[in-house]
Amino acid sequence: MAKVKTKFQCTECGYEAPKWYGKCPGCQSWNSMIEETETVVKTQGRNSPLFDSKDKPLPIIDIDSGQEPRVQTGIGELNRVLGGGIVPGSLVLVGGDPGIGKSTLMLQTSHALTHSGLRVLYVSGEESVKQTKLRADRLGALSPELYVLCETNMERVEEAVEQIQPHFLVIDSIQTVYLPEVTSAPGSVAQVRECTSRFMRIAKGRGIATVLVGHVTKEGAIAGPRMLEHMVDCVLYFEGERHHTYRLLRAVKNRFGSTNEIGIFEMGEDGLREVGNPSELFLSERPLGVAGSTVVASMEGTRPLLVELQALISATHFPSPRRMATGIDHHRLNLIIAVLEKRMGMFLQTQDAYLNVAGGVRLDEPAVDLAVAISIASSLRDVPTKPDDVIFGEIGLTGEVRAVSRAEQRVKEAEKLGFKRVILPEKSLKGWKHPRGIQLIGVNTVADALAVALD
């Protein structure tokens, strides 16, 4: 028996309520609650459409665990993030800020896949066919196997899929697609949920690799219900500062690979270009002999990345000093400042502290702690660090320097770029063969590291 159910749901966070609120109780957004109606059909047992009598439980040891077949996208950085290529029948969600380059990446990927003999359907709900063609002319993404459709009606998109029979499908964007039988507006929680469910059936039923481009909220999360990220196989975020040319592609969910890898691109006039040696690129404009500047070796997945950290300590004119960080968590900055004050006796209560990761990169791992501490001390004392030093290590609350993983890869990357000395945790020196072309100095405390770096 079917019945109609009315509810109110927030377009920002997906909070559901039986009545309308001017301000969402979940995310505190104003006027984000919309009314939705849905038909509820009660099904049980074998009458359920999800029940297939042919499916039988199997012992897990009898299930074939062969590797999923993958298709190379023609873009090495995208293959790295996806775990080696795109899997046929997978459903991928790509999110990012407006103008960051999501459509450019998808159009370049579509063109690259046509060189492998694949047929691609690119559905745009935000740009006309002529606008897409102008973008393709600029990118050089012209191929007879690349089909473009400007449509937002889900039923017509399904008709086009039936007609073209593509191997790869791009929907740009999922918030513009709507189902006529769903009464709410395009982009609402109900529309996004139902359309994504349809695309999931297309991807799984026909074996078509499908990519959905998604909008993001003002907080940076993908707009729509949280269920959207649970339904897809892979969630990618395309990140970067609008005033920098670098773009980072990061996976936050991947059923077919690791979520630790990142892809690095550079935005140019002819589209996105892969960055083969990101460390060299990020350090190309590094000033030498300047207080507050250090080089840190960070790991992004299996890739070592050398970037410059810049700290500026200046006297404050306000009762409460400012603590600002770009590229790392500002809570981590406060923790490191507290350790320097308590364990090293540095008086920072009357000093503003500003920290920046050059190049617009965001570093999340604790191995950057030691470089942050040395940058702050260098700026406070106005003593520059040596330009040939690379620093990494995690700092504990007692002032000790703790071991970090993959020290060998970090050191080899520093040696490859011509650095002469690495300051690292003492415990990270064990268990691997040290290269001869670079000096390794192990430290146990922050005091030891400062004595070496600022001697």
DSSP structure string for 163-201: HH--SEEEEE-GGG-B-TTS-SPTTSHHHHHHHHHHHHH
Instruction: Flag whether 99 is marked binding.
Output: yes
- Residue 38 has what pLDDT? 57
What is the spatial distance between Cα 83 and Cα 87, in angstroms, rounded to a whole number?
9
Per-residue pLDDT at 37:
61
Q: Using the 8-state DSSP alphabet, how is residue 69 labeled?
A: P
The two three-digit tokens of residue 236, written as one number: 């990618």
Cβ atoms within 10 A of the Cβ of 235, count?
22
Q: Binding residue per annotation — 96?
A: yes
Q: Quick: pLDDT tens for 122-163.
A: 999 999 999 999 999 999 999 999 999 999 999 999 999 999
Name the nearest CA neighbour of 136 among 305, 288, 270, 291.
270
Q: Tokens 């028996």 map to which residue? A: 1
**Tens of pLDDT, residues 349-393:** 999 999 999 887 889 899 999 999 999 999 999 999 999 999 999
Contact present, 210 and 203 (Cβ < 8 Å): yes
Tokens, residue 212:
């959905």
Does 64 count as an annotated binding residue? no
> What is the per-residue burial (b if ≥16 Cβ within 10 Å, else e) of 436-449?
eebeebbbebbebb
Contacts of 267 (CB under 8 A, 6+ apart): 101, 104, 240, 245, 246, 247, 273
Looking at residue 35, its pLDDT comes to 67
User: In 66-188, which ranges are continuous DSSP H helix?
Assistant: 76-82, 102-114, 129-139, 154-164
C-alpha–C-alpha distance, residues 271 and 110, integer Å: 13
Q: Work out the angle at residue 313's Cα, subtended by the Cα atoms of residues 308 and 317, and round it to the nearest 5 degrees.
A: 150
For residues 192 and 210, what is the distance between their CA atoms, to the nearest angstrom?
15
DSSP string, 213-239: EE-B-TTSSBSS-THHHHHSSEEEEEE
Residue type, 201: R
d(CA 112, CA 74): 5
Residue 49 backbone zone (phi > 0: left; psi -120 to 50: alpha; other: beta): alpha
pLDDT confidence of residue 382: 95
- Single pTM value for the model: 0.76
Cβ–Cβ < 8 Å for 123, 163: no
> Which of 334, 453, 311, 339 is CA-nearest to residue 396?
339
22 among annotated binding-site residues:
no
Determine the Cα–Cα distance for residues 441 and 424; give it in Å rounded to an integer.
6
DSSP 100: S
Using a 10 angstrom Cβ sphere, with 0-12 exposed, 13-18 middle and 19 or more buried, the burial of residue 388 is middle
Strands (E), 255-387: 262-268, 271-274, 293-300, 303-315, 323-326, 351-357
Q: Strands 351-357, 246-254: parallel, antiparallel or unpaired by DSSP? A: unpaired
pLDDT number for residue 240:
80
Pick the closest to residue 247 from 72, 74, 77 (CA basis).
77
Query: What six digits make up the tokens of 307?
Result: 């970037």
Per-residue confidence (pLDDT) for residue 161, from 0 to 100: 96
Fill in the amino acid letter for 124: S
CB 353 within 8 A of CB 415: no
Q: How far is CA 399 from CA 69, 84, 389, 402, in A?
A: 49, 41, 21, 9
Q: Which residues of the chain fall short of a pLDDT of 70?
A: 1-6, 11-14, 31, 35-55, 65-67, 242
98 is in an annotated binding site: yes
Give the other-Cβ count within 10 Å of 158's Cβ: 14
| Burial of 124 per CB tally in 10 Å (0-12, 13-18, 19+) | buried
416 is in an annotated binding site: no
Q: What is the predicted pLDDT for the residue at 257? A: 87
At 282 the pLDDT is 85
Confirm whether residue 59 is marked as ligand binding: no
